[in-house]
Every structure is written in structure tokens, then in C-alpha cells.
Amino acid sequence: MKKVFQVAMIIAIAALVISVAVPVQAEDAAALYKTKCAACHGADGKASKAGSTMGAKDFQSPEIAKKTDAQLIETTTKGKGKMPPFENKLTADQIKDLVKFIRTLK
């Protein structure tokens, strides 16, 4: 009986950790986006004035929706045109989260 209780506790704790961890990760990406990307790409991903002058496109456009995650990760990592590379400023995981976040912008 004690074992059953222990297993139940482990499941309960795991569920709690997962439910807490997922929103925190999304929030991290949102915060990173705000500090590192929004100046050019705009809070809603539609590109700020400065960003569009440099050639940044609307993240909500079908053109970006068509690109694969790998392509967007590559651009964020290595940079492209006036877009600075982030490979030395962000981890691969942070960049992956940011690309996921970009797709949720409305």
C-alpha cells in the first residue's frame, strides 16, 4: 500500500512540475522576444518602422508561415542581411523557443 502511495505522489509531483514548467518556458520566450527582437520585429511581429526599413517582414504573413522552423532557426542563429546573428547571444534552445513563439504572434 505504501508503494502505491509513493507512486501516486511521484505522478502528482511530476504533473505539477510539467504544468508549471510549460508556461514558464513560453513566458521566457516572450520576455526574450521583447528585449532582443521587438525593437526590429515589433511586439506583434509585424516589424517596427526601423525593422521594415531594414527589410524585416511581417511574421504573421503567409510568406513566413510557409518557411520551415529550420529556416527560421537558421536565420536567427546566423543572421541574414541586416538581421544580426544571435548564435553568441542565445542558446540553441532559446532560439528554438523564440521561433515557436514567433508563430504564435497575432
Site residues (vs ligand HEC, CB under 6 A): 36-37, 39-41, 51, 54-57, 64, 67, 72, 75-76, 80-84, 86, 98
CB of 79 to ligand HEC, least distance (A): 8
Which residues 6+ apart lie within 8 Å of 67 measured at CB?
Answer: none
Q: For ligand HEC, give the closer residue by CB, 8 or 33.
A: 33
Q: For ligand HEC, give the closer residue by CB, 4 or 64.
A: 64
Side-chain half-sphere exposure of 1, counting CA atoms within 13 A: 0
Side-chain half-sphere exposure of 26, counting CA atoms within 13 A: 8
CB of 61 to ligand HEC, least distance (A): 9
